[in-house]
Structure 1
Amino acid sequence: MTSESSTENAQPTGGPRRPVRIGVQIAPQHASYEKIRETAGALEDLGVDILFNWDHFFPLSGEPDGLHFESWTMLAALAEQTSRVEIGALVNCNSYRNANLQADMARTIDHISAKGGQGRFIFGTGSGWFERDYDEYGYDFGTVGTRLDALARDLPTIADRWGRLNPAPTRKIPVLIGGGGEKKTLRIVAQHADIWHSFSDAETLERKLGILAEHARVVGRDVTEIEISTEIGKRSVEEVEEQHALGATLFTIGISGPDYDISGVADWLAWRDAKNAEHAG
């Protein structure tokens, strides 16, 4: 449990607190696409804010060679299927694809999702980590350092391509960066991210927020511009409240096939609404 004084020092605030949002990551494994489509529709109807998938080629749990679907094509389908929720990968693997191609795919999904208004696509990205993806699909796995260097190199290229595409994206596409590495990843977050996602508990989050703030100071960035995202996982309400007190406002719930149990989502949406009403009042 963090102390009141240390919590206040760690919060990346400086203006009005962002509203709490709930995202659900639909792991694209061990289920038919029909079931994935049905689950996405049910979650949008429930009122979640964001639907995520992940960018892998094989299941991460359960039967290693079980049913699995590809991320970007699924996101395009979800963009067409849905009308309100934001969508994105948690997270895209930067090193699978050319940076300019990623930018173009993101812009295209942005337009598919717009339906007469602004797009709903979030460009969630990271450096990649699951070696089997690389080995079986013929990508160079490299090292943690080389993959992070590639991410740092490619993000400016992606932003530049967004400025040159015709038509341009419908909005400034939010960039979500996942990962908690303190020397490289958080520096990249400070430079490029609109959202930072990690799996940190409150104690770890507090430390990393201080490091992120220092990276932001060095690069001349206002750290309050960055939305803080964490995974709910099996955490209790009290543990999530601790994260929220530190400044986290986007909370994600992971669900997996074959059944996609969404029974607990409504409770977290009620918690979201209560927190937002509390701060609005």
Structure 2
Amino acid sequence: MTMRPIRIAFQLQPQHMDYRTIRRAAARAEDLGVDVLFNWDHFYPLYGEPEGKHFECWTMLGAWAEATTRVEIGALVTCNSYRNPELLADMARTVDNISDGRLILGIGSGWFAKDYAEYGYEFGTAGGRLDDLGEALPRIESRLGRLNPAPTRRIPVLIGGGGEKKTLRLVARHADIWHSFSDADTLRHKLAVLGRHCAEVGRDLADIEVSTGVPAATAKPDDVGQPLRELGVSLFTVGIGGPEPDLAPLQEWIAWRDRENA
């Protein structure tokens, strides 16, 4: 199997921090050599104090597009429910241009009920939200093809999630990157399912980059990264939040990348 070079992403979780701390951590991560800088698309913290400090996703991506120069940037992942698909396409095109072609359009169906309730979105069902995502993706693709000026490149689409009947079918049809939080045994099974969906639509599974999240506090690259790497994972995402992000685990993953890619 042809292996893509390892890339390391940093999900800077925008919770429990002032923005100056977020800005400093993003700049430090780029200086350390991270490949991709992600945030997430929520309105409230996912853990810790439920009403703690938090910032909005896409406004932040626009700021990161100006404040960084090398890393790719994106949301892990945008909630499809929160924005009209045509508007999201226009936002993505704009951030892509601001960043000179460094945006990854990460998207998923949404799951955090508090966001929906507090901001007035209909939560519905998990299946219904996935159906909405399936309807939105072609609309996003169509709008991206009609905007003036156009994106600077074909913006890579990352789809997050592991549902075998709907999500992985959408990955096979639309994604350049598939992201999950699977361990090696689960990932092996999910890749087999994804491979079948790819075959059904006439697509090569090797065309989709495989991404996974790794716990910053406990996951050591040689122990956790190597088995996933052997299955074809090339993008490893280390998630770290506030109030003072400790980037030491990120440095371990970057060092491992450099050894393995040498």
Give the shorter-chain TM-score range.
Answer: over 0.9
Match of 2:219 in 1: 235
C-alpha deviation, 1:144, in angstroms: 0.3
Rounded to whole Å, the distance in 1 between the matches of 2:205 and 2:147 is 29
Unpaired runs of 5+ in structure 2? none
SS at match of 1:146: helix
Determine if the alignment matches structure 1 residue 111 to structure 2 residue 92. no
SS at match of 1:232: strand
C-alpha deviation, 1:239, in angstroms: 2.2
TM-score (norm 1): 0.91
Letter in 1 for 2:259: A
- Among residues 89, 107, 116, which one is paired with 1:125 in the alignment? 107
C-alpha deviation, 1:235, in angstroms: 2.3
Identity in percent: 62
Match of 2:140 in 1: 158
* Moved beyond 4 Å, runs of 4+: none
Match of 1:220 in 2: 202
Rounded to whole Å, the distance in 2 between the matches of 1:37 and 1:211 is 39
Rounded to whole Å, the distance in 2 between the matches of 1:263 and 1:220 is 42
Letter in 1 for 2:257: R
Rounded to whole Å, the distance in 2 between the matches of 1:32 and 1:204 is 37
Q: Which aligned pairs between 1:73-112 and structure 2 lie closer than 5 A?
A: 73-112=59-98
Rounded to whole Å, the distance in 1 between the matches of 2:188 and 2:163 is 14
C-alpha deviation, 1:109, in angstroms: 0.1
What is the number of residues matched between the two proteins?
259
- Among residues 152, 175, 178, which one is paired with 1:196 in the alignment? 178
Rounded to whole Å, the distance in 1 between the matches of 2:13 and 2:80 is 19
C-alpha deviation, 1:265, in angstroms: 1.5
TM-score (norm 2): 0.98
SS at match of 2:70: coil
Q: Which aligned pairs between 1:50-61 and structure 2 lie closer than 5 A?
A: 50-61=36-47
Q: Which aligned pairs between 1:1-281 and structure 2 lie closer than 5 A?
A: 13=1, 16-114=2-100, 119-233=101-215, 234-236=218-220, 237-277=222-262
SS at match of 2:179: strand
Rounded to whole Å, the distance in 2 between the matches of 1:247 and 1:147 is 29
Rounded to whole Å, the distance in 1 between the matches of 2:44 and 2:251 is 29
Rounded to whole Å, the distance in 2 between the matches of 1:112 and 1:183 is 36
Letter in 2 for 1:87: I
Rounded to whole Å, the distance in 1 between the matches of 2:106 and 2:26 is 18
C-alpha deviation, 1:111, in angstroms: 0.4
